[in-house]
Structure 1
């Protein structure tokens, strides 16, 4: 039997969990374990939160919009991209109905026009979308000291104080890094960061320079505990609060009395925080629970450092080995639904920090999030706000206008 299975069984036996092949009831939550089920079945059996699912319905279109926006802004002298080029990338960008159909769904973001010099249609951003892009860039550049601290914190959670540079590239947008962060953040702070070669070819490691102070950080969950303990109506014992995490379950999730008792026991169990140096991992029941709780604290802190308190599971998995997490991160999110929420919308697995959201919005927004939220609002707006014309007729007339303009330009060109 593998160490992973032994660990999981030992921990869940301690928690008093029955080993079930499938979920007992779709509206009744019970900690079910998938030893005879596939990974996809385990994900499908989770309790769905309609608020996060609705948010991800819009986000999956936002991801495609951002991908096209980046292509348009890649050429600063002439920020535009040809429709032909986007059509070739339709499959890669997951534009199921083609590039043109997708662009016309968001007229508040994209504008299609005909370039007579190149004899083909192009796409550019609208003034509103350009203004949002400039606002986001300005707020990121204004918050460079905060960005530097985020990187230092991430490196401090690694026992070796280093992570692969390619992993940072995966989450540069989530961390609010500028496009040129290699120069504006890493190279500009050579007294803090250092790039060194890895054992793999064409791979670099981002490392904290020796002597950089990084042991005095306090995790976000610790700040929450201080606030909770200082409340006048706080009825929780301070010793119990010492190792607790905030739990917020979605409406409609029924928690059994036994499950509540096990969560309360888990909350009281001690562990090492994300910035603390850990010793050798113990194989006892208490040691296994502490190992899992430390993994929860690390991913909780990582999500707290992101701009939107969310990240794709595949991206955060790039840091798993460097953070010393021996567990399957996706299982970790599914096993703690009161702390995290896992969504599968948009053909990706995205995890949210549940406590950071209220009704689909961040409780404590930041300037970068505000700019991105404005773009999401334009995505949600869709075609609304335009003249009340039948959408199919509008599509046809728009297509004909581009074609007629192109034909007219061709006839006017000298032979």
Structure 2
């Protein structure tokens, strides 16, 4: 009995195969290609520099705005602890060390009780006043862009909280939800749904504003009082970095893709079938239009994906952004990804800068910054480097580089020391994107 072979059940082999199939699929899901797994050869050096400039600026602008809305524009340092997350200043770093990097914008002092406070310098106050003036001057354009976002949405409504994600990118005032939106009752109005969530609803349709930016650029259309959005077959502007040396091999496929018809972002898309070529190409048109509205022609990608349902865009939006990187460029630096409209940039600089972008650059130019030289093995390594460098000591150690107003604010040093260059970029995914049927 001890030596008797035990016969497996009839379905044993089949069960074993099923288990193997399940295990294989689980492995493929856990090892599937992520955005971070892209080869360095697919990264655009100049636009990665632009991302780093934005990260530095966002911290400073957050603190400026925080102080702006304090009663006397001062706040105890210890009260800033609750804002570590939006400032992205992790412990054990001292917030006071971060503030000391920008003495032209912020000042620290102690009161009679020994409590340390932070306030704005005279220059900081002037910059806040300048921004308010520029936002007021930009109001007409901001109204247009908010209206066009509503015109693209399937229900012609958008949650105010989601619009708030675009506030600074669109040049909207800080308190736009309380006052600004009520100034234009003939264009849009605010209402609450059954869950008490505030929405902005389109009141009147403007034919002039449903002409896409691509139509304006390719066809030269400026006004169209009787325009009705429909099917388009216009090419999207594309820009590949010089390192994409083999693009010419796929010129035919790219041209075929560009000639495919697609539905205007302002036309009714309810009948489009998800996953179809028409559905995906319209999504590209929507993303192109939204990015065109933004002051810096770039967005944090999760702000864009928040609008998938409202703008009738695919679930795997990131995949489309990555596949069409002649139109868009996605940077995976840090905890949040950014997407650029490539046509709007020359190197790391915007080709056309609105006054609010010029203002932001002025603010950054008054900010002190240090970057510690170290070998960057992967782009994930930069995450720790970025935040740590805001707290480096002020000693003139040979291992540190200083980037400030006198050193042409983070132009050469950031580019040369922190971001690896690549000789040639892999474009295999370009071919895949444009040969789809």
Fold conserved (TM > 0.5)? yes
Flag the structure with more relative contact order, 1 or 2, with Cα contacts below 8 A and sequence separation at least 6.
Answer: 1
Alignment match of 2:348 (pick from 357, 360, 363): 360
Q: Is the 8 A contact 1:225 1:242 kept in 2?
A: no
SS in 2 for 1:392: coil
SS in 1 for 2:42: coil
Alignment match of 2:286 (pick from 279, 288, 298): 298
Alignment match of 2:324 (pick from 336, 350, 353): 336
User: Does the alignment pair 1:323 with 2:319?
Assistant: no
Q: Is the 8 A contact 2:145 2:170 kept in 1?
A: yes
The residue number in structure 1 matching 2:395 is: 392
The residue number in structure 2 matching 1:268 is: 259
Alignment match of 1:345 (pick from 307, 318, 333): 333
TM-score when normalising by structure 1: 0.74
TM-score when normalising by structure 2: 0.70
Deviation at 1:91, TM superposition (A): 4.9
Distance in structure 2 (CA, Å) of the matches to 1:40 and 1:266: 23
> Residues 43 and 177 of structure 1: is their aligned pair in 2 closer, same or farther, counting only changes over 3 Å?
farther
> Residues 198 and 45 of structure 1: is their aligned pair in 2 closer, same or farther, counting only changes over 3 Å?
farther
Distance in structure 2 (CA, Å) of the matches to 1:256 and 1:36: 29
Structure 1 residues 175-324: aligned runs within 5 Å = 175-199=170-194, 201-209=195-203, 211-214=204-207, 217-226=210-219, 242-256=233-247, 259-278=250-269, 280-282=271-273, 288-324=276-312
SS in 2 for 1:301: helix
Q: Which moved more, 1:271-280 or 1:304-313?
A: 271-280
> Residues 264 and 100 of structure 1: is their aligned pair in 2 closer, same or farther, counting only changes over 3 Å?
same
> Residues 324 and 111 of structure 1: is their aligned pair in 2 closer, same or farther, counting only changes over 3 Å?
same
Q: Is the 8 A contact 1:43 1:334 kept in 2?
A: no
The residue number in structure 2 matching 1:106 is: 102
Q: Which moved more, 1:313-322 or 1:214-223?
A: 214-223
SS in 2 for 1:182: coil
Deviation at 1:335, TM superposition (A): 0.9
Distance in structure 2 (CA, Å) of the matches to 1:136 and 1:112: 23
Any gaps of 5 or more consecutive residues in structure 2? 1-28, 222-231, 372-392, 398-437
Deviation at 1:99, TM superposition (A): 0.5
Distance in structure 1 (CA, Å) of the matches to 2:370 and 2:40: 36
Structure 1 residues 121-132: aligned runs within 5 Å = 121-132=116-127
Q: Is the 8 A contact 2:214 2:234 kept in 1?
A: no
Q: Is the 8 A contact 2:35 2:332 kept in 1?
A: no
The residue number in structure 2 matching 1:236 is: none
Deviation at 1:94, TM superposition (A): 1.9
Q: Is the 8 A contact 2:238 2:327 kept in 1?
A: yes
Q: Deviations over 1:309-345 (max 9, x none)?
A: 1111111111110011124221121011111111122
Deviation at 1:215, TM superposition (A): 6.7
Q: Is the 8 A contact 1:249 1:338 kept in 2?
A: yes
Q: Between Structure 1 and Structure 2, how many residues are aligned?
A: 337
Distance in structure 2 (CA, Å) of the matches to 1:292 and 1:376: 38
Distance in structure 1 (CA, Å) of the matches to 2:272 and 2:77: 56
Q: Is the 8 A contact 2:190 2:198 kept in 1?
A: yes
Distance in structure 2 (CA, Å) of the matches to 1:258 and 1:290: 25
The residue number in structure 1 matching 2:225 is: none
Q: Deviations over 1:204-231 (max 9, x none)?
A: 221111x443575211111221359xxx
Q: Is the 8 A contact 1:334 1:341 kept in 2?
A: yes
> Residues 125 and 44 of structure 1: is their aligned pair in 2 closer, same or farther, counting only changes over 3 Å?
farther
Alignment match of 2:42 (pick from 40, 43, 47): 47
User: Does the alignment pair 1:90 with 2:84?
Assistant: yes
User: Does the alignment pair 1:173 with 2:176?
Assistant: no
RMSD (CA atoms)? 2.9
Deviation at 1:359, TM superposition (A): 2.7
Deviation at 1:135, TM superposition (A): 1.3
Distance in structure 2 (CA, Å) of the matches to 1:256 and 1:191: 49
Distance in structure 2 (CA, Å) of the matches to 1:165 and 1:214: 24
